[in-house]
Structure 1
Amino acid sequence: MARISVIIPAYNEENSIALVLQDIPAGTVDEVIVVNNNSTDRTAAVATAAGATVLQEPEPGYGNACLKGIAYVAAKPKEAQPDIVVFLDGDYSDYPEELLQLVAPILKGDAEMVIGSRAIGKRAKGAMMPQQIFGNWLATNLLRIFYGAHYTDLGPFRAIKFSTLIALGMKDKTYGWTVEMQAKAAKQKVKYTEVPVTYRKRIGTSKISGTMKGTLMAGYKIILTIFRYL
């Protein structure tokens, strides 16, 4: 039986994090890790009450939170480390119950990394802003042109073998996290696939696409990251 850990970066998600945690299929994962990324609300308390392992990462940044979760898992004894790590957002835009279909290609030996694609899945109206849709289109096309990678999305809901994740040597601390993983995977010839996932409007306002500054900063960082790892 494969050991699965879930890492959830969370910044001010007190209204959604319990819903995310309750929808993770019971009995399928060994540990759910919520990384409280400098929240000013009750995210940590709500996640703890819901049974998650809560880590504190005071340095803002999506990548910082993910790196904190990875470091926690990597510090465990070898026999306690997971076989698969799943990354999932804490805003309830993803459907945690789809975790099983996300890890299935890895369990079957067909892939080392699986991206949950919103582009080929079912996306609720208004769940993604026009700038997000365009940004994903641009980034995936740049990855195809420069890396020969055939992705349709930079979706945050993803699964990867833990050994593969460590071999990628992830570094990005902010907006470039997802595209860094996909660019490095393509460059290192990691066997990957995509599965369609369902996506709904998030609870609360997006910290990235919800502001013009966040959108521009994310777009700049994503493009910079694509060219950095060529």
Structure 2
Amino acid sequence: MLPCLDEAAALPWVLARVPDGWRALVVDNGSTDGSPDIARSLGATVVTERRRGFGAACHAGLLASDADVVCFCDCDASLDPALLVPFVQDVSAGRVDLVLGRRRPQGWAAFPAHARAGNLALARMLRRRTGVRLHDLGPLRAARRVSLLGLDLTDRRSGYPLQMVVRAADAGWRIEERTVPYRRRTGKSKVTGTWRGTWQAVRDMRAVLAEPPRTPLPARGEAGPR
């Protein structure tokens, strides 16, 4: 799943790196720069999600997919979709339930100070809330689709990625992270491009961390090829 809002300049690079045999599902969240047409011309399936919000776009893709193992990746050319291959292998083999990419910036401009600070604060809050020791809450991740649906994710804004980890931890999922290179994005960030945007996201996510523990469906129970 590739949530997309005005990413026309990045789409060719991103879609060219989707592994062979995988289905690229671009979820357009209100683009005005022709992103949907570009995605279709490059062979992607396009889903339209009119409700604005990162979580809304991600969840629309999850509902539209029919794959066993699903992946999430930003559509701004900061992350290479090909990096997801070992993630999917680990999930398919049953070695782990949720794999996240720990971003290793390729230069300071790739991960500005305010974004690093916000991410660190969230990782610490997550550790206090769940005991899960992660260094990053990055968008590159893989898990089984049916298991994700069982988490009953409700956040439709910037708290969606965090809510996924919190509810997975509450359900006893095996969660791991892998270090991945993180490039400077193409275009302007919609969330963490400024201190104000970053800390607004942090404030929004505190509501997710305040949720009481839940008992959703287990992560293991679906098998087969992605």
- Please give the TM-score of this superposition, normalised by the length of structure 1: 0.88
Residue of structure 1 aligned with 2:158, choices 168, 175, 182: 175
Once the two structures are superposed, what CA deviation does each residue of 1:11-37 show, in whole Å capped at 9, x if it has no partner?
00000012100111223x1x2110010
Deviates more, 1:51-60 or 1:124-133: 124-133
Aligned to 1:92: 77
- Aligned partner of 1:38 in structure 2 is 30
* Letter of the structure 2 residue corresponding to residue 26 of structure 1: D
What corresponds to 2:140 in structure 1? 157
> Alpha-carbon deviations, 1:49-71, whole Å to 9, x = none?
00000011122100010111122
Q: Once the two structures are aligned, what percentage of the paired residues are identical?
A: 32
Is 1:69 aligned to residue 61 of structure 2?
Answer: yes
Query: Secondary structure of the equivalent of 2:67?
Result: coil
Letter in structure 2 aligned against 1:68: A
3-state secondary structure, aligned to 2:176: strand
Deviations 1:189-224 (A, max 9, x none): 111211111100000010111234422321111222
Q: Distance in 1 between matches of 2:70 and 2:25?
A: 10
Alignment correspondent of 1:106: 91
Structure 2: state its 5+ residue gaps: 214-226
Residue 26 (structure 1) aligns with: 20
Unaligned residue ranges in structure 1 (runs of 5+): 1-6, 74-80
* Match for residue 11 of structure 1 among 5, 9, 14: 5
Show CA shifts across 1:43-99 (max 9, x none): 1010000000001112210001011112212xxxxxxx3110100110000012212
Decide whether aligned partners of structure 1 residues 207 and 163 sit closer, same or farther in structure 2, where only a CA change above 3 A counts.
same
Matches within 5 A, 1:41-60: 41-60=33-52
* Contact in 1 for aligned 2:191/2:198 (Cα 8 Å): yes
Q: What is the count of residue pairs matched by the alignment?
A: 213
Q: Displaced runs of 4+ in structure 1, greater than 4 A? A: none
Following superposition, the deviation at residue 142 of structure 1 comes to 1.2
CA deviations on 1:146-169 (whole Å, 9 max, x unpaired) are: 211111111001001112111111
Structure 2 residue matching 1:154: 3-state secondary structure: coil
Deviation, structure 1 residue 134: 1.1
SS in 2 for 1:184: helix
Q: Is the 8 A contact 1:10 1:37 kept in 2?
A: yes
Q: How does 1:200-215 map onto structure 2 within 5 Å?
A: 200-215=183-198
> C-alpha root-mean-square deviation of aligned residues, in Å?
1.4
